[in-house]
Every structure is written in structure tokens, then in C-alpha cells.
Amino acid sequence: MEINEKGKKMSFNPLEEKGIPIEKQHRSWHEITKKPFNKNEVDCYSRTRQILMNGIEVEAWNFKHNFSRNCADSEINKLIAQTRRVEDMQQTTVNWLTPADQSVLETTLGYEQVAVDLTAWMAQNEPDDYVRETFNFGLLEDFDHLYRYSQWAYFEHGISPNDIVQGQTDIMLSRPTQNHHNDNRIRLRKPYDKFSADPQTKVNIYTLVSGEQQTHNYYAEHGMEYGNQCIRETYAEIKDVEEEHVTMYESLIDPTESWFEKLLLHEFTEVCNYYNCMEDETDERLKKIWEMFMEYEIGHLHIAVDLFQKHEKRDAEEVIGNKVVLPCRFMSQKEYVTNILENEIQKRLGTNMDYTEIDKLPKDWPSYQLQEDVNKDGSPTEMVIQIMAAAKGRDLTVADSKLKKKELSLLEKGLEEKVQAPDTVSTEMLSKMLKEKEIEHEC
């Protein structure tokens, strides 16, 4: 292991590290349930790491249950049961870091900041052009979700979205959410080839599937907790898009990977993410948690390697290489997101696992019928802008003046004329709104 002058690991082969043996990974309930962070003091990217790692652990736990349900070998199931129990304990530790006074909408803004800045980082570090294009496509949808939820956070709780994103992520409209609803069959993408795909590609996708899946699940489990019916409907609408995102990203995974290969990739993904979190974390208390769990996951990885090599008769390095990759380096991605926003907001899903643009869509594009069905009574994510306009004169945005000046042109480019919801905020309406004074909010 190489160490630089700042004490950070330059390169790291987890296959050469011992980690912590599984039999030494049990902790007491007091050790499992750590003190939560202070929502008013925590760095926004400490929060995003905590949110992401909760999703990574949920995916690992869920995958291992599915593995066991499809495995008749009791000895293999015993090993998986051991690590699965620890994954569950780790998930408790990570998720219980969330403070009780952090509202559902505040947590939601954190989830969408994860989606935006994580996907933007991955896209810039993704070696596969097709996978990168898919990441960029989903990125603009999550960027719009952040904008829509930010309106509700301000309207319902008086929260400035900047209290959560801390100036690191812009709040601006994107490809409108009402246009995110697609025939789920055309969300399916071309899978990578398991023999030729770079380990970075595999870990990126496994990580993003975990993050999008937990976002869907969070909205499914908490979106109904508000008394405001339009907020409830907004969660229902965006939750449906998250289902499409899980479908899109998981379809990039080679379906011929064996259960043992997938187990190996899950454990390697966990090692890489905990390593990345440990290296970047500024909160020393959280850093110790990420480091401990990285050591746990190295222990799990060794078990997965032994199972893979025993049953597949292949070297684990053929699948994961010989060094960790960096899937989750959280940092501001404003410049990159703005570039994608300006150049790809008009992009849509093609019918052949490809991409096209609004003006090239056929009249019988499969998603038109679905959009007509779900948006016939209105789109809740459009209604929230209508409500903000009625209450405050306009929408709430948090971005530099250069990007704010492009809001109208972005809507003109990204809003589809066909099959619009009856409560759509048109370009004419937005033009009038933008003449109003900007909404003041605390930063």
C-alpha cells in the first residue's frame, strides 16, 4: 500500500489486505447505534456519504437474501448468512446517524444531492461512452427532482435548500419531471460485457443502482407522511421515476454474471465506497466508522473471493482487477452539470436502447401514451411551481446569475409540446414569473 505525503493511500489492493475476520465483527447494541450528526453543523458531503452508504448496505443485504433463496448448498448459505447479518448491523449504524429533527423533505434534498453530484462524478470518470451517456441522461432528471422538492421544502417548512446543499449544488429546473415518465420497456439499456468491462464501470453501476434503489424506497416509505396531498402526490410521481432509474441502471449489468460473480462485485463495491468515504471524510468520528466498515468489507471480500475461485475456477482479479476504484468522490459538480444541462436537456430515450431528441421523436413514441395516462389530471411537480407562483410570485432557484438567466431558454429547449399536463408551467407563464423579484431565503 502506497501512502502520499498527506497520509492518504495512493494505491490499494484489497486482495492483499487482511481486513477484520467475520467472527470479530459483532458489536453491542450500544456500539451499533451511534450518536446522530447535527443537521445544522454537518458538512453536506458527510450527509451524502451517509445516505449513499445506507443504500449500499441495503443493496448488499437484499442481494444476499436473494442469493440464499436461489442456492441449495447449505454450507454456502451459512457463509452468506454470517456476512448478511453484519451487513444489516452496518446498515443500522449508518442509517441511525440521521438525526430525529431532520424532516423528510430535508433528508430528501440530501438524497437528490447524492444523485446529482454522485452521478456527475461517475460520468466524468466512466470509461464506457454508452454508460456515460446513460449517467448524463439520468443526471438531468435527478437535477430537476432537486428543484421540485426544494420548492416544497421552502413552502412547507420555510427551509432554504441551501441549508442542505450548502452552495455546492445548484437548484434550477431541468428536463421537466412530467417528461420523465416513459414506457419502462424503453428504459432498458444495453448491458456491459462482463469479460471486457472495466472494473470502474462495474463498480460505478453497482453503486448507482444501490443509490437509486434506496431513493425509490425512501420515497415509498416516507412520501405519505405529509398531510399536504400535493406533496404526497409529488413523492408518488418522483418515486415512479426512481423506479425507471433503477430499471435503467440495473439493465446495464451483464445478466450472465453468476451469483458468485455478483457476490464478488457487491463486496468489492462496498470496499471501494467505504475506502472512498474514509479518504474524503472531514468528520473524524464518521471517518472512523467508514474505516472500520472498510476493514469489515475486506473480510467479506475474502469470503466472496474464496467462493468465486472455488466454484467458478477463475481468478478474482479477472473481475475486479487489483486495486480499488473511486466511485463516490463527493465534490461540487456545478460546471459539469451546467454543461450537460445546456447541451442535453432536449434528449429523450430512443426505441432501440439508444437516445434521441424531442424534434426527432416519432408520433407513435411509446412513452406518449404513458405520459397521457399519468398526467391527464395534472403533474404534481408542475403544480408545486404553480403554488409557488401564487404564493411568492415565482419559483425558488439557487444558482449563479449566469445560469439563472438561462432558465427560460432551458425550459423552451427541454419542455415537450406534445402530451403536456393540464397544469404545465408554460414558457409564457415562466417568462412572467421571472419578472418578479427573486425569493429571499437564508443561505
DSSP secondary structure of 276-342? HHHHH---HHHHHHHHHHHHHHHHHHHHHHHHHHHHH-S-THHHHTTS----------HHHHHHHHH
Output the CA torsion sign for 141, 144, 148, 154: positive
Q: Does residue 102 belong to any structural domain of this protein?
A: yes
Within a 10 A sphere around the Cβ of 11, how many other Cβ atoms? 10
Where in the sequence is the domain holding 204, given as residue range(s)? Answer: 43-435
- What's the pLDDT tens digit per position in 218-247? 999 999 999 999 999 999 999 999 999 999
pLDDT in tens, 146-198: 999 999 999 999 999 999 999 999 999 999 999 999 999 999 999 999 999 99
Q: Which SS3 state, helix, strand or coil, does residue 138 take?
A: helix
Per-residue pLDDT at 6 exceeds 90: no
Share of the chain above pLDDT 70, in %: 97
The DSSP 8-state label assigned to residue 2 in this structure reads: E
In a domain, 13, yes or no: no
Q: Is the pLDDT of residue 443 over 80?
A: no
Which residues, listed in sequence order, are joined to residue 2 by a DSSP beta bridge? 11
What is the Cα–Cα distance from 288 to 140, expressed in whole angstroms?
34
Tens digit of pLDDT for each residue in 335-348? Answer: 999 999 999 999 99
User: Does any domain span residue 144?
Assistant: yes
pLDDT of residue 440: 84
Domain total in the chain: 1
Q: What does the pLDDT average to over 30-51?
A: 98
Domain membership of residue 356 (yes or no) is yes
- Whether pLDDT at 10 is above 90: no
Asked if the structure places residue 3 within a domain, the reply is no
Q: Concatenated DSSP letters for 178-241?
A: GG----GGGG--PPPPTTTS-HHHHHHHHHHHHHHHHHHHHHHHHGGG-S-HHHHHHHHHHHHH
Say how far apart CA 120 and CA 143 lie, in whole Å: 10
Q: Does the residue 330 lie in any domain?
A: yes
Q: What is the mean pLDDT of residues 117-131?
A: 98
DSSP state of 16: G
Q: What is the average pLDDT across 349-356?
A: 98
Distance of alpha carbon 89 from alpha carbon 167, whole angstroms: 33
The answer to whether 332 touches 161, Cβ cutoff 8 Å, is no
Residue 267 lies in a domain: yes
pTM of the entire structure?
0.96
Residues 168, 335: Cα–Cα separation, whole Å: 11
How confident is the model over 309-330, as a mean pLDDT? 97
Instruction: Count other C-beta atoms under 10 Å from residue 431's C-beta.
Output: 13
Say what the pLDDT of residue 442 is: 60
Q: Which residue has the cell 411551481?
A: 385
**Angle, CA 217 vertex, CA 214 and CA 222 arms, to 5°:** 125
Is 26 part of a structural domain of the chain?
no
Q: What is the mean pLDDT of residues 61-82?
A: 98
Asked if residue 121 has pLDDT above 70, the reply is yes
Q: d(Cα 282, Cα 275) in Å, to the nearest integer? A: 14
Q: Determine contact, residues 305/316, Cβ cutoff 8 Å.
A: yes
Mean pLDDT, residues 267-296 taken together: 98
Average per-residue pLDDT for the chain:
96
d(CA 355, CA 221): 32
pLDDT tens sequence across 391-426: 999 999 999 999 999 999 999 999 999 999 999 999
| pLDDT (average), residues 262-277 | 98
C-alpha pair distances (Å), 13 with each of 148, 268, 329, 354: 42, 11, 18, 36
